[in-house]
Amino acid sequence: MKITRADKILIACLFALNIFLFAQVDLGNRAGSWVVIEVNHKEVERLPLSQNRIVHVTGPIGETEVEIKDGKARVLKSPCNKKLCIKSGYIQYADRFAACLPNRVVVRVLGGAHRGIDAVLS
């Protein structure tokens, strides 16, 4: 099978589109300013992302430890079994979150301008 001129143009256009889409995804990463910690859908802490500290919050199955360090936040310790919240690592961009679902703890990073709702789960 021979590659025609039209095939080469199509490949070049798709390649250019791919680069454009990756650039758009990267532009959506705005630095966060605040860390909001919620337990059972209730805000229990709102802290500046610029202030290094460790926060302890208590959920239904125990205590969760959240670390804020160098403009990033993460779940440091949690009483849940699988530790997926810890494995998710640091979050630093606006509208990103880490959650310990068994303990009902959510750590969110907020920026200056909130983008709105991405999805609704019921």
Report domain extents, the chain.
34-110
- pLDDT at residue 114 greater than cutoff 60: no
What is the pLDDT confidence band of residue 22, given thresholds at 50, 70 and 90? confident
Convert the pLDDT of each residue in 43-57 to its tens digit: 999 999 999 999 999
Query: What backbone torsions phi and psi does residue 84 show, to the nearest 5 degrees?
Result: -65, -30
CATH 3.40.50.720 corresponds to the domain 34-110: no
In the predicted model, what is the mean pLDDT of the chain? Answer: 87
What is the structure's pLDDT at 101?
92
Q: How many residues make up the chain in this entry?
A: 122
What is the pLDDT confidence band of residue 25, given thresholds at 50, 70 and 90? low
Query: What backbone torsions phi and psi does residue 75 show, to the nearest 5 degrees?
Result: -85, 120
Q: How many CA atoms lie within 13 A of 16 on its CB side?
A: 6
Interacting residues of 59 by C-beta distance below 8 A, sequence separation 6+: 39, 40, 79, 100, 103, 104, 105
Convert the pLDDT of each residue in 77-89 to its tens digit: 999 999 999 999 9
